[in-house]
Amino acid sequence: MTTSTKGGKVYLTYVDQWLDTLPAAESEDFKEFAEVTPSIIEIWVYAGILRYPGTFNDLARWVKMKYKKLNRREILNSEIAALHSDIQELRMAITSGEIKGDNGCARLAALEKELRSHIETSDRMNKTTDKRGLILAGADRVMRELTAIFKDDPQFAEPIDNAMNAVWSKVYSEITS
């Protein structure tokens, strides 16, 4: 998507256009947060607090284009598959006599222990991600609803913004520690 503004500025994405509407400090804070945060859900929630009006897909594409994210889950799953394959090959080598039984059993036990450790880590990662995503999605929904309810009442706009920023900071610090 390419758009131009009245001032002639060209934007490649809707997110870049939105970022230009924010105060410079908020825009930079958001970019820094997007760079260091591995979860697109957390980035989406933070964008919602800053009143991002675009779609999740636009934001996800922008993050993918601007910041290389390491897919830890994919890496861990490929390591689990490789370990499983190594265990199968080692078992066949022991069975065929290529590797002595006692030496093979020790290596097999070590590989199986490593595999179990990887599986436990994967489970923990999934549970943590699910929990954080649900908490942040709930917080985001509450903040959007409050904004919608009081949008026509200017006397509440600033206190609600301050309260939402405080809640965001507290919730985020609790779930990341």
> Residue 39: which pLDDT band, with cuts at 50, 70 and 90?
confident
pLDDT over 70 (residue 8): no
Give burial (CB, 10 Å; 0-12/13-18/19+) of 172. buried
**How is residue 135 written in tokens?**
């908490």
* d(C-alpha 147, C-alpha 157), whole Å: 8
Q: What is the pLDDT of residue 125?
A: 77
Q: What is the pLDDT of residue 139?
A: 77
Q: pLDDT for 55-77, tens place per residue?
A: 888 999 999 999 887 777 788 88
Rounded to an integer, the average pLDDT of 105-131 is 84
For 93-122, letters b (16+ CB in 10 Å) and e give ebeeeebeeeebeeebeebeeebeebeeeb
Q: What is the pLDDT of residue 127?
A: 73
> Residue 122: which pLDDT band, with cuts at 50, 70 and 90?
confident
**CA atoms in the 13 A half-sphere facing the CB of 3:** 9
In the chain, % helix, strand, coil (3-state, to 5) comes to: 80, 0, 20
* d(C-alpha 47, C-alpha 136), whole Å: 12
Query: Torsions phi, psi of 168, nearest 5?
Result: -55, -50
> Residue 136: which pLDDT band, with cuts at 50, 70 and 90?
confident
> Does residue 2 come out as left (phi exceeding 0), alpha (psi in the -120 to 50 range) or beta?
beta
Number of neighbouring beta carbons within 10 Å of residue 46: 19
* d(C-alpha 40, C-alpha 42), whole Å: 5
For 55-83, letters b (16+ CB in 10 Å) and e give eeebbeebbeeeeeeeeeeeebeeebeeb
Q: pLDDT for 156-175, tens place per residue?
A: 878 887 888 788 778 777 76
pLDDT over 90 (residue 28): yes
